[in-house]
Amino acid sequence: MAHDLHDVAVKLAREAGELIVSRRAGHIEVANTKSSDVDVVTAVDKETEEFLFRRLQELCPGDGFLGEEGQVEQSTTGVTWVVDPIDGTVNFLYNMPHYAVSIAAVTGDPTPGSWQVEAGVVFNPVTGELFHASLGQGSFLGERRLQIAKPPPMNLALLATGFAYSTAMRREQVRILAELIGEVRDIRRMGTASLDLAAVAAGRVDVYFERTLNPWDHAAGELLVTEAGGVIAGIQGFAPGARGYFCRAPHTGYSAEGKDF
């Protein structure tokens, strides 16, 4: 089943990517905001999610759908598609070529910590990089199989992170990062969670940690990491998700405990 779901996810990520690139050639404006003034949505986000919802109804009737922009459909097959049509919307808005279509097929309860991610695709339609994985079959960038290498000691590790939309949370995150910057090689904040997870799988960063993630931010990316041999963890006993999301190579000794950012 995972292989069939993988093929659907790859196909639809490419189709959605074509739509996004064609729309980005025109003028892009903010359609509305969500949790705060900086949590923006464009008309292309909504159009792309509606496109993916319709295509999945055609290709996989009965499957559920959970999308960032509000499309929700209960599953009658046991499979739910968890979709972020444009992860990194602010990058997209400013025409920075670092955003992605993120599509995952999960079984069971479609809740982080309860689901089983069967297939995941993270596609940057600007660069053409396609990260993809299916359960038990490995993680790939195009045709190249990904394998997390032995990590460096923490003082030489490159950390990726992101910021919340809440002003209070952002300030706290910056405070913690100011404490942490002297303990690692450097910190990257690139603005697209799914591509941060893909970067861990590909060995482009050593560690990724973030707070306030939503299911569609990490569903596809976490399978990329685990199928490449990485480890996903929460903090303070919670499942990986909104309270804290931490990924790395196994047996590193790195820990997010006590780092509330």
Active site residues: 68, 84, 86-87, 89, 217
Give the pair of three-digit tokens for residue 2. 């995972």
Q: How far is CA 95 from the centre of its chain?
A: 19
Phi, psi of 177 (to 5 degrees): -60, -35
CA distance 103 to 59: 14
Neighbour order of strands in the sheet with 64-67: 72-73, 64-67, 79-87, 100-107, 116-123, 130-134, 138-141, 144-145
What are the C-alpha distances in Å from 152 to residues 44, 158, 177, 178, 203? Answer: 40, 9, 19, 21, 11
